[in-house]
Amino acid sequence: MLKEEQFDHRVSIALKSVVTQLLNSQQEKDSPVTQGCQASCNLSEGNIKDIIQPALLDSFVREEFQNLNINLDYEYAIFKKSTTEISMGKCVLYKKEILKSEHTTSLSCLWRSDPYLLAVYFPNEKTYFIKQIGLWLFLSALFLLIVIYGFTSTIFSLLRQKKLTQMKNDFVNNMTHEFKTPISTISLSSEMLMKPAVYDSSEKTLKYANIIYDENTRLKNQVEQILQIAALDKGEFRIKKEPLDVHQIIDNCIDNINILIKQKQGKITSSLTAEQHIIDGDETHFTNIISNLFDNAIKYSSPSPEIFIKTFNKENRLCIIIEDNGIGISREHQKDVFKQFYRVPTGNIHDVKGFGLGLYYVKTMVEAHNGTISLKSEYKKGTSFEISLPIKK
């Protein structure tokens, strides 16, 4: 670590400067040392304190550390290299650490016969380095997190974009398929009307005219559905709330689909037990909510649809549950069925008509009525939708 190497280098310079100052101070005295380094180096008896004054040593250490901007708490000592016996110094709590310190310098020029070492220990050295590099570590970690977040966001964005593109492509394909059939039927019926054998017969003319009318109505409804969803996206729809009898609307919807269910040899059962079934809502949109859920139940329940609808009250709310015995929705697709244009993948098989807009419309309208909708489904065992709405006070 560069910071640590720089610190070690400064400490080493400081300790060597202390030794140099000690040597210079001894040479200035009127003693054998003044005759040169050799005199003190050859001393073999006595105490090193005869050469080094503790107070002077302390002042030199403090001065050199200040000069080199070493502002950490420290303890130091002079000890024999051979016996690790401490002779002098400023050490109270960290004697063992000083003896093992990496910050040492030799005093052999002052006492060669039995070399001494000057060592210093910094109790807060590691903390000092952590603080020194703390900001850089934080910035590096922050930069790394930003890079990871950016990379992850890009990947998820690409995946979402790919999924959205696929959904739009499926929508275009489904729309083309849905429009193609009535357009072909209208075209064929128009050709038939131009044949003399047909327009001379009022019965045949009426037959083909009815076909054209029915297919034209079908096309109109499909276009209206797409325009309605476009209005939802722009937030241009309006909810005209008024007191609605939910049970009455459900009964009307059941009457409308009963013929279709009987044609498929199915049945619909109702259990409308909610005591409070008046809500504030838009009659047209709420009727469409129930009708769309019924249509889904019929489309995805073959060959004989069995539909069960019930209502009940729970915590001042009206709950509506619509169950069917259809093909169900696998767990991996359940989270997406309320999304715009989404249809459960069936490959190139278009046996079930639709644009993938029905459940998106249902969810949007339920939420516009301050309600919630959820589903429970098991693949090949049917689906259950539950709507919860506030009761009119």
User: Residue 23: which region, alpha, beta or left (left: phi > 0; alpha: psi -120 to 50)?
Assistant: alpha
pTM over 0.75: no
Fold agreement between 134-234 and 242-390: no
Q: Which residue has the higher pLDDT, 351 or 56?
A: 56
Give the strand order in the sheet containing 267-272: 267-272, 306-313, 317-324, 382-390, 372-378
Residue 377's nearest CA partner among 365, 385, 388, 366 is 385
- Summarised one tens digit per residue, pLDDT across range 25-66 is 777 664 443 344 444 444 444 567 777 888 888 888 888 888
- For the chain, what are the domain ranges? 2-123, 134-234, 242-390
CA torsion, ordered 228, 229, 233, 238, to nearest 10 deg: 40
Give CATH superfamily name and number for 242-390: Histidine kinase-like ATPase, C-terminal domain (3.30.565.10)
Cα 323 to its chain centre, rounded Å, is: 34
Residue 111 has phi, psi (to 5 degrees) of -155, 90
> Which of 17-21, 58-62, 194-198 has the least mean pLDDT?
194-198
- Summarised one tens digit per residue, pLDDT across range 264-316 is 888 999 999 999 999 999 888 898 899 889 888 888 877 788 999 999 999 88
Class of domain 134-234 (CATH, top level): mainly alpha
